[in-house]
Amino acid sequence: MDIAGNLQDILKNIPSGVKVVAVTKTRNPSEIMQLYSAGHRIMGENKVQELADKKEKLPGDIQWHMVGHLQSNKVKYIAPFISFIHSVDSPKLIKIISKEAVKNNRVIDCLVQVHIATEESKFGFSVAEALEFFNGYSPGDFEGVRIRGLMGMATLTSDKELIRSEFRTLSDLYKKIRDIIPAAGENFNELSMGMSDDYKIAVEEGSTIVRIGSLIFGQRTYQ
């Protein structure tokens, strides 16, 4: 598996302004170091324990992104170092991230996760809840938290048109929040959508951050 080459192939397919979070879940440090040695610094994990373990074992200049569901009682383990939390799925979680960020004297970049898929099990604000939240939001409401944009996951399906319409829903919401609710602030400029199977569609629909695991590292044998 040419891990660094796989990333290069993906980068060729997307505009240069789009960031790639290499999702390293289930991958060992030597696999991750192949990307690091090729110059890549943005890595993502979906579980707190695995994230904290890898942070210990790998170089300190890696920018770690939390992409999976985050339980409020675990925020304290990642608050000292996390650069981006993609999966902020409730106002309560924002408050806890704020508290832990302040304790660590940090500002943590966050994305509000919006539920766009047809599946029941995915976390996130509904479109209506997100609009309601941002209508009442001003930057500075949560000390230590900078809300940078939105994140969403499309339905796991081979129906490309369904995937596209879900990404478009998220992209439209993102633009609405940016343009109609100026209180979201000038730092509100990231849209995290797209994974191995759907990143090209996501980028066509306006994604600024794609989160890619298996297309870089090969198929996972477990989640």
Ligand X SMILES: *Cc1c(COP(=O)(O)O)cnc(C)c1O
The contact set with ligand X (CB under 6 A) reads: 23, 25, 46, 67-68, 195-197, 211-215
Burial 197-209 (b: 16+ CB within 10 A, else e): bbbebbbebbbbb
**Is 44 or 144 the residue whose CB approaches ligand X more closely?**
44
Region of residue 175 (left: phi > 0; alpha: psi -120 to 50; beta: else): alpha
**Is 165 or 196 the residue whose CB approaches ligand X more closely?**
196
CB of 114 to ligand X, least distance (A): 13
**Is 82 or 195 the residue whose CB approaches ligand X more closely?**
195
**Is 117 or 181 the residue whose CB approaches ligand X more closely?**
117
CB of 22 to ligand X, least distance (A): 9
CB of 110 to ligand X, least distance (A): 14
* Structural contact between residues 142 and 109, judged by C-beta atoms closer than 8 angstroms: no
CB of 44 to ligand X, least distance (A): 7
Burial 64-83 (b: 16+ CB within 10 A, else e): bbbbbbbeeebbeebbebbb
DSSP class of residue 182 equals: G
DSSP of 16-57, one letter per residue?
TTSEEEEE-TT--HHHHHHHHHTT--EEEES-HHHHHHHHHH
Residue for token pair 């996390």: 82
**Is 145 or 209 the residue whose CB approaches ligand X more closely?**
209
The amino acid at 110: C
CB of 25 to ligand X, least distance (A): 6
**Is 79 or 210 the residue whose CB approaches ligand X more closely?**
210
| Bridge partners (DSSP) listed for residue 23 | 44
* Structural contact between residues 116 and 170, judged by C-beta atoms closer than 8 angstroms: yes
CB of 103 to ligand X, least distance (A): 26
Query: How far apart (Å, rounded) are the C-alpha atoms in residues 34 and 176?
Result: 40
